[in-house]
Amino acid sequence: MDSKKIYSYFVLVFTFFAFTIISSDAYVQGHKKAPGRRRTPANGLNCDMFHGSWVYDDSYPLYNSSTCPFIDPEFDCKKYGRPDELYLKYRWKPNACELPRFNGQDFLMRWRGKKIMFVGDSLSLNQWQSLNCMLHAAVPNSKTSTSRTGSLATVRFEEYGLSVMYYRTTYLVDIVGEPIGRVLKLDSIDSGSSTWLGVDMLIFNTWHWWTHTGNGQPWDFVESEGQVYKDMDRLVAFSKGLTTWAKWVEANVDPSTTKVFFQGISPTHYLAKDWGEPKAGNCNKQTQPVIGSTYPAGSPPEQAVVSNVIGTMSRPAYLLDITLLSQLRKDGHPSTYSGDHPGVDCSHWCLAGVPDTWNQILYAALL
C-alpha cells in the first residue's frame, strides 16, 4: 500500500471515531434532566438531611401503633385517648434532597446477624421502640423475642438474627455511691461501657437528665479532675461528661467494625413563646407543626456542646442532628395522653411519630 493510501486510510478512521465521540456526547447532553427536575436521593454523605420542613403526606404514618407490640404506655398516644390524627400525617422533607422511604425488609437484610444498641435515657428508649415498630411493620409475621436483664433490653428478630437493644444510662458517665453521697463522676465511664463492646452499631444519647435539679436529680455531688463540687454549671458539666464519652469511643471502638452515632438533642416544648405562641402555654392541644424551616427560639446551647465535642474526635461519631426538625414538631408530644405519666409530657414523643423520622434518617445514613 503506497503512502497516499495509508494516509487516506488513517484520515477515514480518525473521522469515524471523532464523529462517534461527538455524537455520543451530544446524545448525553440532549438527554440530561433539567436542573431541579429531580432532587438527589439522600445517602447520608451527599446531602444535609437536617434542614428542611414538614409536609403533609397521606401515606403516613409508617405503621399503626395498635399493631406494634413494643410501645410503652407513655408513648402510646392513640391508645390513651389522643383524639386528633393530623400529627401522624407529616413527612420530613430536607431542602436539598429526598429522604429514601424506610424499607424495613432491606434494613433487616443489611443487618442480618448483627447487634444494634441504643445507649442513653428515655429519648433513646423512644427511638429504640420506634425502630422496632418500623421493622415489625415490614415483617409482621416474623418471629420476635424480647428479653430484659438489668439495664439492657433486647428485641430479637429471629429469622434475621438481628438483635436491637436498649441500654439505659441517663448520663453515659458514672454515678457512684460514696460515703458523702451519690457522686456524678464526669471523668469516669466504667459502669456500663463493657456492655457496649462487640456491638455492630451504637447510637448514643444524653442531655435530658443534665438539667434536673432538686428531687429529680439522682446525684448529690459532681466530681471532675479529682475535685468534688456541690454543683456545677450544667453546660460545663455536660461538656466534660460528653468529652469523657468521646475519649471512650476513640479508645475502645473500632470504626471498621462498629458504626457510632450520636442522637443529638431532642427538644422540649414547655414554653410556647419559643415558637411564637405565648398564650398557648405548652405543647398540650397542639395539632400541627411549626410552618417553615426555622424555629423562632433558635438553637439551644446544648446543641453547640454536642457539635463541639464530636468535632474534637479524630474519628467523629455521626451526629444525627435531629434538633431543628424536632423543634418544629410542637404537636408531636404525648402531652396528656401518656398512659399513667402524670402531668403534661412535652419531652417525649408519640409513637408513631417524630422518632420514626430520626430512624428514617439513620437508615439513609447507612445506605
Type and span of the H or E element at 227: strand 227-229
Per-residue pLDDT tens digits for 40-58:
555 555 789 999 999 999 9
DSSP letters, 39-92, are PEEP-SSSS-TTSEEEEE-TT--SS-GGG-TT--GGG-TTTTT----GGGGEEE
Q: Is the pLDDT of residue 323 over 50?
A: yes
In this structure, what is the dihedral angle of CA atoms 115, 120, 124, 129, given to the nearest 10 degrees? Answer: 50
Yes or no: say if 241 and 318 are a contact pair by the CB < 8 Å rule: no
Residue environment code for 37-69, b if the CB has 16+ CB neighbours within 10 A, otherwise e:
eeeeebeeeebebbebbbeeeeebbbbebeebe
For 134, half-sphere exposure in the C-beta direction (CA atoms, 13 angstrom radius) is 30
Share of the chain above pLDDT 90, in %: 85
Q: Is the pLDDT of residue 15 over 60?
A: no
> According to the model, what pLDDT value does residue 314 have?
94
- Rounded alpha-carbon distances, angstroms, from residue 181 to 238, 241, 339: 20, 19, 33
Catalytic residue among 65, 122, 326, 338: 122
Q: Average pLDDT of 308-334?
A: 97
Per-residue pLDDT tens digits for 117-159:
999 999 999 999 999 999 999 999 999 999 999 999 999 999 9
For residue 26, name the pLDDT band (cuts at 50, 70, 90): very low
Catalytic residue among 121, 274, 345, 356: 345
Catalytic residue among 269, 333, 341, 348: 348
pLDDT winner (highest mean) among 5-9, 94-98, 106-110:
106-110
Longest C-alpha distance within the chain, in Å?
Answer: 105
> According to the model, what pLDDT value does residue 34 have?
31
Helices in the chain by DSSP H: which ranges?
3-30, 104-110, 122-138, 193-196, 234-252, 301-311, 323-327, 354-366
Q: Average pLDDT of 227-248?
A: 98
- Which CATH topology does 52-172+191-213+238-365 take? Rossmann fold (3.40.50)
Q: Average pLDDT of 88-97?
A: 95
Per-residue pLDDT tens digits for 156-205:
999 999 999 999 999 999 999 999 999 999 999 998 899 999 999 999 99
Taking Cα atoms as reference points, which of 160, 164, 99, 171 lies closest to residue 129? 164
Burial group, residue 81, by CB count within 10 angstroms (0-12, 13-18, 19+)? exposed
Q: Average pLDDT of 69-87?
A: 97
Q: Annotated catalytic, 122?
A: yes
Q: Average pLDDT of 214-242?
A: 97
Which grid coordinates belong to 344? 403534661
Yes or no: say if 118 and 165 are a contact pair by the CB < 8 Å rule: yes
- Rounded alpha-carbon distances, angstroms, from residue 254 to 39, 45, 229, 250: 34, 20, 35, 8
Q: Is the pLDDT of residue 18 over 70?
A: no
Task: Give the pairing type, strands 144-149 and 152-157.
Answer: antiparallel
> According to the model, what pLDDT value does residue 8 have?
45
Per-residue pLDDT tens digits for 253-262:
999 999 999 9
For residue 71, name the pLDDT band (cuts at 50, 70, 90): very high
Q: Which of 18-32, 89-103, 170-184 has the least mean pLDDT? A: 18-32
Yes or no: say if 170 and 210 are a contact pair by the CB < 8 Å rule: no
- Rounded alpha-carbon distances, angstroms, from residue 69 to 60, 85, 135, 140, 314: 19, 20, 12, 10, 40
Please provide the average confidence, as pLDDT, over all residues in the chain. Answer: 90
Residue 321 CA to residue 314 CA, distance in Å, equals 19
> According to the model, what pLDDT value does residue 7 have?
42
Total residues belonging to the chain: 367
Residue 241 CA to residue 234 CA, distance in Å, equals 10
Q: Annotated catalytic, 348?
A: yes
Grid coordinates 455536660 are at which residue?
238
> According to the model, what pLDDT value does residue 33 have?
33
Cβ neighbour number for residue 182 with a 10 Å cutoff: 13
Grid coordinates 469516669 are at which residue?
188
Share of the chain above pLDDT 70, in %: 88
Q: Is the pLDDT of residue 9 over 50?
A: no
